[in-house]
Amino acid sequence: MKDSGDKMRMKRIWAGVAALGLTAAASAAVAAPARPTPYWASISQDEARMRVGPSLDYPSNWVYRRRDLPVKVVQVLGQWRKVEDPDGVQGWMHVRLLSDTATAIVRAGEAPMRESASDGARTLFRAERGVVGRLSDCGGGWCAIDVHGQRGYVKASDLWGATDK
């Protein structure tokens, strides 16, 4: 009698282990990225560490203190993203440090922010190299950009970031 009770307990344990395995597999499928790499992201925190490998066990090689800085995601491994920054530096960031918000950084020495998407449009502001802004639309070689409430159109060629929309 005791043997059949032990067998039933073992079957329940194995059934529980199998259910946990299926749940883990389903969670991994949900966490898998829906889009192919590379794709654009931006830093979502005031401070974000880039690591040399995809784990907290790896040391940081850079600490970014620039929310909205655009990065290009070049590889995905679980909850970690291998990213490239505007200077070409690559490393790993946890997905919670990143956002899908479309941003760009000015790469030209100075980029006029115009009233409309045209070379002849009135210049509203001038954005210096290194200025980061949020993009709302890009097309026809121009991007609508918002830099802390100052809005205008900048040539896409003067920017690095999510300009290939």
Closest CA to 125 of 157, 158, 159, 150: 150
* Residues in contact with 26: Cβ distance below 8 Å, sequence separation at least 6, in sequence order: none
pTM metric for this prediction: 0.77
DSSP labels, 56-96? TTSPEEEEE--TT-EEEEEEEETTEEEEE-TTS-EEEEEGG
Encode the chain (165 residues) as per-residue pLDDT tens digits: 555 566 555 555 554 444 444 444 444 434 554 679 999 999 999 999 999 999 999 999 999 999 999 999 999 999 999 999 999 999 999 999 999 999 999 999 999 999 999 999 999 999 999 999 999 999 999 999 999 999 999 999 999 998 864
